[in-house]
Structure 1
């Protein structure tokens, strides 16, 4: 069992229809048929949405996504129409709300990997492949791959794992032309983002994108290149053969699996609340990622 420790009740706003509450975002539709995405401060780990929020996390994700959408606009259009807060919405929605085009979403998580880690490492250690793609012998945790690879996954419900699938399965699911476009665009966007991150002393190990179609145009949706959807590592600390320090919720994961938490990950018992020092350290890491990538001050 996993999912929300306690699923929040959706905020009711006049003129908006609540559609979905995800791990981080709440999704609404307005009277014009546009989507309203609100990034909360919720955080998740090990398939659980935790009872403790990370202050400003939703605003960091929103502001960073907007910055990246600008950097990538010539490679792929995005879904954002405005950052206006709908009338009657809580004041807390400011800075975390996106009004977006309603797209025909592609039912695939589009993952690009430049380094071996995570679920890719697990598969590699079993079969020397990732999503069916053969890789050289001798790679270890954190190794740079010979070149970036497209490793798609099926989308999972809250509390379930996304499942890596071979490219051929994506082609059967969405058609060969769409699959080829997804792969080409995913790798192009990853390549641009990898180079930008590298200039700022960061390694973009892997990332995932969601795409949809507006008419016949493949369009970037959801969040993009945030610490929630990507692994960013400090380049000066990169050392293959070990877990890399990461600009994400690693403090949360490490504490949950430590003796201090008292939580058994293999049980069905929900994880406990986070101590303040873990909350503060995680918030600081998200803000540091924003400032290093954009060159802008969070304050």
Structure 2
């Protein structure tokens, strides 16, 4: 059996019972369960949610995206073996730690399989909540060009590339296109200040101004928990993106929770601590793949310039990457997951068949 067979690339075609179209993102697909199945699972498994809460199956894939494109490899490799299982395992670990330490719940109610979450419906906050402990990436590129203000925060002169910031910065950006907000362009992923959010809290889907303080606290505390845990295993938590939303508790009241994924190599930069002390950057995250792509193609501007998206999409479609490149990424993902969780990431021979069997026999969600 080849590595290509172990990859779950297409994850929106499972025969899960649903009355709604499957929503497929860059990496995950979401299957909204029927009202009957949602109620049945809540009762059978005693999920701590109101009885009428809509539930979904969230199925991760092994697809690899970078610069808003999906990339593929030679020999039929449509993703990275073990990537999906590694991402889920890492998120599960951090969500568990957050709950243990009394921070907040997540949207996950059950984990039937390493590639699957059963989640409750959440109303997302329209913010990509970004925390930074080092100046690197897009922030460094802007700083190098002379920018000093980021999301309403002013940085001092004289900072060096990849250096540690004086304090952890919260630099949020928009999640989706928000319309009619003064000073905020109508585009996805544009930087916003705390004032922008406070003055337009309802447009960002916050229930109250007080919840902005809570989101910042959960963001900072969550970052701190992960940063300390990574430091304990010789890794540096450089920066990350969190997402938040509201769900209903058992009384039907709104509560703010963590959602999507947290502290993964897809949503964060993680550096090897020992190498950093010697002045070298060794990435244990998707950033290493991004750098490889920037070095691989002669015109890096195609990957960095949002106005060249058509060229970028064509570049990703036309270029099959060598198998060893994808296997190196597999090693990065699985090794950091095993370090974080202390558990082995096992590559499934037929992930799709496994998922179907579990959802059929244990959850009765497949006819």
Query: Shorter-chain TM-score category?
Result: 0.7 to 0.9
2:79 aligned with 1:53, yes or no?
A: yes
Q: CA RMSD in A?
A: 2.4
- Over residues 32-67 of structure 1, what are the superposed CA-to-partner deviations in whole Å (9 max), with x where a residue is unaligned? 220221110111112211233101111111111111
Output aligned runs, 1:34-49, within 5 Å: 34-49=55-70
CA contact (8 A) 1:171 1:178 kept: no
Q: Kindly indicate which of the two structures has a greater share of residues assigned to helix.
A: 2
The one of the two structures with greater contact order (alpha-carbon pairs below 8 A, sep at least 6) is: 2
**TM, length-normalised to structure 1:** 0.85
2:284 aligned with 1:247, yes or no?
A: yes
Secondary structure in 2 aligned to 1:232? strand
2:335 aligned with 1:288, yes or no?
A: yes
**TM, length-normalised to structure 2:** 0.70
Q: 1:280 to 1:12 in 2, by over 3 A?
A: closer
Q: 1:290 to 1:76 in 2, by over 3 A?
A: same
Structure 1 gaps of 5+ residues are: 1-6, 85-93
Moved more, 231-240 or 131-140: 231-240
**How far did residue 297 of structure 1 move?**
2.8
Output aligned runs, 1:162-181, within 5 Å: 162-174=189-201, 175-181=208-214
> Post-superposition, which runs of at least 4 consecutive aligned residues in structure 1 deviate over 4 A?
239-242, 261-265
**How far did residue 119 of structure 1 move?**
2.2
Question: Which one has a bigger Cα radius of gyration?
Answer: 2
2:98 aligned with 1:72, yes or no?
A: yes
Output aligned runs, 1:97-136, within 5 Å: 97-125=116-144, 126-136=146-156
Structure 2 gaps of 5+ residues are: 1-8, 39-53, 73-77, 178-186, 202-207, 248-252, 303-307, 347-367
- Over residues 108-164 of structure 1, what are the superposed CA-to-partner deviations in whole Å (9 max), with x where a residue is unaligned? 11111111112222333332232220122221221111111211111148xx86222
Q: 1:198 to 1:204 in 2, by over 3 A?
A: same
Secondary structure in 2 aligned to 1:225? coil
Match of residue 96, structure 1, among 115, 139, 151: 115
**How far did residue 217 of structure 1 move?**
1.4
Match of residue 145, structure 1, among 165, 168, 187: 165
- Over residues 224-259 of structure 1, what are the superposed CA-to-partner deviations in whole Å (9 max), with x where a residue is unaligned? 1110011110111116988x3211234533443345
Moved more, 269-278 or 223-232: 269-278
